[in-house]
Structure 1
Amino acid sequence: MAESKDLLQILWSGADVLRGKMDANEYKTYLLGLIFYKYLSDSYLVSAYDLLNDEMPETLEEAQAAYEEEMQEDEAEEFLKELKGSLHYTLEPQMTYTSMLKDVKFNAFNREKLQAAFNRIQESDELFNGLFADVDLYSNRLGTGDQKQSATIAEVLRVLEDADLINAEGDVLGNAYEYLIGQFASETGKKAGEFYTPHGPAQLLTRIAIMGQEDKKGLQVYDPCMGSGSLLLSCKNYSNEPDYIKYYGQELMPSTYNLARMNMFLHKVHPENQVLHNGDTLDADWPTDVETGFDMVTMNPPYSAKWSAAKGFLQDERFMDYGGKLAPKSKADYAFLLHGFYHLKQTGTMAIVLPHGVLFRGAAEKTIRETLLQNGSIYAVIGLPANMFYNTSIPTCIIVLKKHREGRDVLFIDASNQFEKEKKQNVMKEEHIEHVLELYQNRETVDKEAYLASFEDIKENDFNLNIPRYVDTSEEEIPVDLKALTKEIEETNKAINETNATFLDMLGELTFADSETKESVEAFLKVFGEM
């Protein structure tokens, strides 16, 4: 195939076509959806050509021509069956991206054909059901009237032409997609909290949760608030058996759920290894029909969200063993935590990001916290820098949980200064993450950075886990040397007096053009001399 331009540059250029027409939260859906469609279409043509000729095509146009020719043959139905068996979807020749692009170049693009392609993919397999539902090809956001709307979509298709989505090595395409999601998160600000965890905290959460399990084949990971799936997919970077990871994720927002599904495919996660669900994590437990203990649970739930806290939840296995208390209606933080913890294997590790309030708030939250501590479930508390996340500037913390471990001590780490300031956000760089991981692994007290608290320490603090109670980061005030300070003041006063005297002498030597100016200066000298 022809060499492509820099992939990121091409993909990002697609955003420029849409940027002036709608905000980033909307145009991300179009761009990411069209990139995914191109990926499926290009993969389809290459697979078809390979099936026919047992080799890769030189160009997509060559693959298109071979596919069109094959579809005229008597064995076309058998050929389609074979393609669907391996890819889970089929496309008519006129539904491919290559065919659409040809129409664009001849000013004959018809968005109905593109919609038909979306529909064909979505109807091919349950795996793709509703995947393009948010890509509204008939929206007024694209322009006024059929012609302008079609022209906008056609221009995006034209811009993406040179993006080689098939020959990208390793996770280049997946990482480019991740980059775009991150850029959109940066542009959309507070709206981004629902779909993206910044790279630094995501890396820290994942590396803590996977620690000791890097060589496990068939690692099962779970994120009940998965957003775009970024946190789940970061496991691939730290596992020595990435092709065997099984991903379980749930997401409330349908559009974000679809984004996660696309993200999985673009990271080349096999369909059998992705078990994703669109639903309300707290409302009804999921998953329930399979083995529900996971090796890793990572979460970045919405902070202090509202939930029903209905009394019926006290009979729910996720929440029933915590002193007869539920997370309050106005703050679902502990409901999310307990849901994730319930689904953790006895040998697994869970890492969750939450606001600091969960460490010290009273009432029901204190009862739940105390129960977790009594059981030895809380393993570590790590204070993160402020302004790390797109949806809030407040400081947050990572709570690490384990089941049935020996001991009830808790490691506290103050990582609030482990960041570098960038344009909009504070960012944890590699050296900051490595330093926190070193403190976490060593699990010992380090002055002003970490404290290994015994259960007795925590009990004495009335089960309050506020980090400053354990890690003292205050600096001692330098004692003032009064003798030296007095001498310094005397020398300063002497210098001021000498300067004033010189200044008065200079003014006294002035000559004046008129008596009025002379009187004004003399009055000034008199006042200045009395000071």
Structure 2
Amino acid sequence: MTTAHQFQEQARTLIDDLKAVCARFGLGNDAAEFKIITQVFLYKFLNDKFAYKAKQIEPALAQADSWEDAITELSDNDFEMLTMQLGAGTAKLQPQHFLATLFASQDKKDFHKTFDATLIGIAALNSEVFSVRTAGGSRIQLFDRVTEFISDPSQRDPFAKALINKLITFSFEHIFAEGFDFYSTLFEYLIKDYNSDAGGKYAEYYTPHAVAKIMAAILVPSTGKKLSSVSCYDPAAGSGTLLMNLAHAIGEDRCAIYTQDISQKSSGLLRLNLILNNLVHSIPNVIQGNTISEPYPFHLKTDGAPEKFDFIVSNPPFKLDFSDYRDDLDTKANKERFFAGLPNVPKKAKDKMAIYQLFLQHIVTSLAKGGRAAVVVPTGFLTAQSGIDKKIRQHLVENKMLAGVVSMPSNIFATTGTNVSILFIDDNNDGDVVLLDASKLGKKVKEGKNEKTLLSAAEEEQIIGTFNEKRAVEDLSVVVSYEQIAEKNYSLSAGQHFEVKINFLDISATEFQNQVKASRARLSESFLAAHRLEKLIEKQLNSLNFE
């Protein structure tokens, strides 16, 4: 086992231990559990990162028996100089915020108040950089008073002590040199029990790694030129899986991330994801709010025009009841944004309103000149013969801004049975379009009560390579022109564009007649069997007494 794997196992053990503490104090599976776990974990991470960076800046701290004691001996000016050199990605802490300080004071009266005050103090000190904003301009700070989730005041001190004693046994200092693969796996483990549909308006599905990897690798091919100072956007960001993969493909220091999501829980998880992946500079661009009814005006351009983004990735909700504000969207100002129209409100099954159509139109109109996007859509979108779906496809074709489609295997998401495809948009594609059907790839596995399809690494690379190289592969992919798509009623289904093959057999007339005769005999026998079965059923029904 490698060192990285050892530390990953230790980090997972810490997460499990924190969950065990919550369960012991009656918060297992409680709505507050995810806040406690993620925030306490984050406090530990920020404390250790402060130590890691401080020791790099001032090597004498690394030689001291206790770096915490050594740092408190610095003059106020020296301490201030030290914190100024930490960089924007590291939270600023005061000595009273250190984990060692908390650990040493756990036997004092009302320790839970000291614990909460530490978290709130760190949040206030770092509010400018680490706060998520709402669409209305309010700030959602980094931490809550976590011990107040314990309803019995007499149990708050023991709860805080139990948490602190779990944190002191492990250090992140040895793994800050690890990269995206390490932290993406750790983040997935951390949130695996908290990133599912809990009955809210937006289902916060964790996008599978294979989907995220394929989207990023096609949007940003490894053979392409290095990018710099590009903007990346997700209007339904969830916990940020797609954006993390995209940022890693571009380079975390070469892009800025912009997001909006209606879920406060998702926005908090996204912030944690950004911190783990060295994207702290993008936290001020995380907006919690309704993208469809109140798209956040980032106003990044000097003329005040709505921002257009270089890259967009999204796995938006497919079906959702938005009937309560549907009519509010039907305005002159929204005509360009929703160019293909607004779904009507059905008399029944309002929860099945196709909100993905609105997200998709919003994405198309938010794309910068020459920009690229990848969006998860229900596979039915590819072939709808009329309505908004067809109008969107027609718009993409007629404006020559379509790169292609990858239709994924069924159950690629364990949490939904809907077949999904990835729509790739390229504002700069004047050439051919790739339609790829990967529905037959993958291996079925059980995940809890659900069945899930997993793609192998070789299959992922096959999809990425075939798409990026624009290769036609029998029964997998086809390369077509915009004109050919228009001739097929703008269908983006690979199957409808595959060449129909007819196999001819070289047989004699006699052999052909014998095969026809045999087929007729089998057909006659089938008809006779059906007739006998019908008589038997009729006889049994007549023998029954229905009175």
TM over 0.5: yes
Paired residue secondary structure (1:162): coil
Q: State the match for 2:238 in structure 1.
A: 227
Equivalent residues of 1:379, 1:402 under 8 A apart: yes
Q: Deviation at 1:81? A: 7.2
Q: Deviation at 1:37? A: 0.8
Q: State the match for 1:430 in structure 2.
A: 457
Q: Deviation at 1:208? A: 1.3
What is the rounded CA distance, in whole Å, between the counterparts of 2:267 and 2:168 in structure 1?
27
Query: 2:227 matched to 1:216?
Result: yes
Q: Deviation at 1:136? A: 3.4
What is the rounded CA distance, in whole Å, between the counterparts of 1:401 and 1:356 in structure 2?
16
Equivalent residues of 1:304, 1:333 under 8 A apart: yes
Q: 1:446 to 1:197 in 2, by over 3 A?
A: same
String of CA shifts for 1:448-467, please: whole Å, max 9, x gaps. 11122333433333233344
Q: Deviation at 1:145? A: 1.7
TM-score, normalization: structure 1?
0.77
**Which of 295, 300, 322 is equivalent to 1:290?**
300
Equivalent residues of 2:379, 2:419 under 8 A apart: yes
Residue 152 of structure 2 aligns to which amino acid in structure 1?
G
In the TM superposition, what are the counterparts of 1:17-416 in structure 2 within 5 Å? 17-19=21-23, 21-23=27-29, 26-47=32-53, 53-58=58-63, 62-70=66-74, 75-76=75-76, 79-80=79-80, 83=83, 86=86, 90-104=92-106, 106=107, 110-124=111-125, 125-129=127-131, 130-133=140-143, 136-140=146-150, 145-171=152-178, 175-176=182-183, 178-182=185-189, 184-185=191-192, 189-191=196-198, 193-194=203-204, 196-211=206-221, 213=224, 215-239=226-250, 241-271=251-281, 275-291=285-301, 292-307=307-322, 308-310=325-327, 312-313=329-330, 315-316=332-333, 319-320=336-337, 322=339, 325-328=341-344, 330-361=353-384, 362-407=386-431, 409-416=432-439
Q: 1:153 to 1:203 in 2, by over 3 A?
A: farther
Residue 178 of structure 2 aligns to which amino acid in structure 1?
D
Q: 1:218 to 1:320 in 2, by over 3 A?
A: closer
What is the rounded CA distance, in whole Å, between the counterparts of 1:318 and 1:136 in structure 2?
45
Paired residue secondary structure (1:7): helix
Q: Which runs of 5+ in 1 are unaligned?
A: 486-531
String of CA shifts for 1:29-59, please: whole Å, max 9, x gaps. 22221111112223334555666x4444257
Paired residue secondary structure (1:386): coil
Paired residue secondary structure (1:138): helix
RMSD over aligned Cα, in angstroms?
3.7
Q: State the match for 1:514 in structure 2.
A: none
Q: Deviation at 1:201? A: 0.6
Q: Which moved more, 1:385-394 or 1:12-21?
A: 12-21
Q: State the match for 1:529 in structure 2.
A: none
Q: 1:36 to 1:394 in 2, by over 3 A?
A: same
String of CA shifts for 1:469-512, please: whole Å, max 9, x gaps. 23489999x99989999xxxxxxxxxxxxxxxxxxxxxxxxxxx
- % identical aligned pairs: 19
Q: Deviation at 1:317? A: 6.1
Paired residue secondary structure (2:19): helix
Equivalent residues of 1:319, 1:326 under 8 A apart: no
Q: Deviation at 1:203? A: 0.6
Residue 284 of structure 1 aligns to which amino acid in structure 2?
E
Q: 1:108 to 1:273 in 2, by over 3 A?
A: closer
Equivalent residues of 2:15, 2:190 under 8 A apart: no
TM-score, normalization: structure 2?
0.75
Q: State the match for 2:531 in structure 1.
A: none
Q: Deviation at 1:277? A: 1.8
Paired residue secondary structure (2:242): helix
Pick the structure with greater CA Rg: 1
Equivalent residues of 2:312, 2:363 under 8 A apart: yes
Residue 186 of structure 2 aligns to which amino acid in structure 1?
Y
Q: State the match for 1:14 in structure 2.
A: 18
What is the rounded CA distance, in whole Å, between the counterparts of 2:15 and 2:101 in structure 1?
20
What is the rounded CA distance, in whole Å, between the counterparts of 2:453 and 2:145 in structure 1?
33
String of CA shifts for 1:58-95, please: whole Å, max 9, x gaps. 57x7122123334xxxx537734762674665444333
Residue 452 of structure 1 aligns to which amino acid in structure 2?
V
What is the rounded CA distance, in whole Å, between the counterparts of 1:311 and 1:30 in structure 2?
38
Equivalent residues of 2:129, 2:284 under 8 A apart: no
Residue 174 of structure 2 aligns to which amino acid in structure 1?
N
What is the rounded CA distance, in whole Å, between the counterparts of 1:481 and 1:221 in structure 2?
62
What is the rounded CA distance, in whole Å, between the counterparts of 2:176 and 2:43 in structure 1?
19
Residue 298 of structure 1 aligns to which amino acid in structure 2?
V
Q: State the match for 1:528 in structure 2.
A: none
Q: Deviation at 1:174? A: 7.9
Q: 1:92 to 1:217 in 2, by over 3 A?
A: closer
Paired residue secondary structure (2:446): coil
Q: 1:35 to 1:22 in 2, by over 3 A?
A: same
Query: 2:443 matched to 1:420?
Result: yes
Q: Deviation at 1:188? A: 5.8
Equivalent residues of 1:451, 1:471 under 8 A apart: yes
What is the rounded CA distance, in whole Å, between the counterparts of 1:113 and 1:173 in structure 2?
34
What is the rounded CA distance, in whole Å, between the counterparts of 2:471 and 2:179 in structure 1?
39
Paired residue secondary structure (1:423): strand
Paired residue secondary structure (1:451): strand
Equivalent residues of 2:357, 2:388 under 8 A apart: no
What is the rounded CA distance, in whole Å, between the counterparts of 2:30 and 2:185 in structure 1?
15
Residue 233 of structure 1 aligns to which amino acid in structure 2?
M
Q: 1:439 to 1:92 in 2, by over 3 A?
A: closer
Q: 1:484 to 1:100 in 2, by over 3 A?
A: farther
Q: State the match for 1:521 in structure 2.
A: none
* Number of equivalenced pairs: 471
Equivalent residues of 2:383, 2:491 under 8 A apart: yes
What is the rounded CA distance, in whole Å, between the counterparts of 1:417 and 1:222 in structure 2?
31
What is the rounded CA distance, in whole Å, between the counterparts of 1:402 and 1:448 in structure 2?
25
Residue 454 of structure 1 aligns to which amino acid in structure 2?
S
Q: 1:186 to 1:483 in 2, by over 3 A?
A: farther
What is the rounded CA distance, in whole Å, between the counterparts of 1:473 and 1:203 in structure 2?
32
Q: State the match for 2:137 in structure 1.
A: none
Q: 1:394 to 1:483 in 2, by over 3 A?
A: same
Equivalent residues of 1:83, 1:90 under 8 A apart: yes
Equivalent residues of 2:83, 2:92 under 8 A apart: yes
Q: Which runs of 5+ in 2 are unaligned?
A: 1-5, 132-139, 302-306, 346-352, 506-511, 520-547
